[in-house]
Homo-oligomer: A and B are copies of this chain.
Amino acid sequence: MPNNIGRRTWAIAEGYIPPDSPTKSREMLSHETVCILNAGDSAARVEITVYFANREPVGPYTFDVGARRTRHLRFNEFKDPAPIPTNTDFSSVIASNVPIVVQHTRLDSRQAELALLSTIAFPLD
């Protein structure tokens, strides 16, 4: 099994947090997720910058992903330096100090029946 899996920088051009009822369970609440795999033997320090249509980018949002661990981070739970507004178009760039793999997933439960989307992020280097 190779140890050094992935790239250090990724981008996700799509980003959108559906406005939804906060009374739903965390499992079923609408969420916009960046899934990060760190298959290597060193912990990853991940910095995420969020881009908007009409104002300067916000970030970095900083996360640790341990060696041989995955984290599925929800943009709608980001807090520091600032929450990301719902019903607003955004994009993100994910930068890590070690190679990682990044995938983008949304669960949209605004309506009675949920909808899903997912894609590999764009690997930069």
CA of A33 to CA of B120 in the docked complex: distance in angstroms?
A: 15
Contact B11 A101 (CB under 8 A): yes
Collect the chain B residues with CB atoms within 8 Å of residue A95's CB.
Answer: 1-2
Interface residues contributed by chain A, number (CB under 8 Å): 62
Per-residue CB contact flags for chain A residues 49-92 toward chain B (1 = under 8 Å, else 0) read: 10111101100100000001111100000000000000101110
- A-B CB proximity, top 7 nearest: A37-B91, A70-B91, A13-B103, A117-B118, A113-B113, A13-B35, A72-B89
Q: Which residues of A does B touch, CB under 8 Å? A: 1-2, 5-6, 9, 11-16, 27-28, 33, 35-37, 39, 47, 49, 51-54, 56-57, 60, 68-72, 87, 89-91, 93, 95, 100-106, 108, 110-125
